Structure formats: structure tokens, C-alpha cells
Amino acid sequence: MRIPNFKRFLITGAILGFIVGAAISIVGDEVQGYTTTTGALYIGAFGAFLGTGLAGVLGILIDRSGRDRS
């Protein structure tokens, strides 16, 4: 039985979340008062937060499913 490496799950989730959030911000409409870079950083940070949370939940689910089998 292998236990998932939570640190890697969380870091990967944060990076992927940031990339998706920044891409959505860049492709989306411009908002007055924010430059494209500022919007990408804000939405990217929010995406990183969500990605970290989802990766943590996924890691817990994988960990629990591995423990149920043993």
C-alpha cells in the first residue's frame, strides 16, 4: 500500500490552479481599474487557493481508498 505524498499533491494543485486562473483572466474580458497582469495575478492566486484545496481533498480520498483495501 502506498500513501500519497500530500506535499506534492498540494504543490501540483496550486501550480495548476494558478495556471488555469491566470489563463482565464488573460482570455476573459478586461476589467476597468486593473491591468491584465494584475488581474492574472489576482485570479491566478484565487485559482491556486482552489487548486490546493481540491488537491488536498483528492489526496485524502486516495489515502482513504488505499486504507480501506488493506
pLDDT 10s digits, 51-61: 999 999 999 99
Q: What share of the chain is helix, strand, coil (3-state, %, to 5)?
A: 80, 0, 20
Cell matching residue 55: 488537491
- What is the model's pTM? 0.84
What pLDDT was estimated at residue 20? 96
pLDDT tens digits along 6-55: 999 999 999 999 999 999 999 988 878 889 899 999 999 999 999 999 99
Is the separation of the CB atoms in 13 and 54 below 8 Å? yes
Is the separation of the CB atoms in 6 and 59 below 8 Å? yes
Q: What is the mean pLDDT of residues 61-69?
A: 80
Q: Which residue type, as a one-letter code, is found at position 14?
A: A
pLDDT tens digits along 43-52: 999 999 999 9
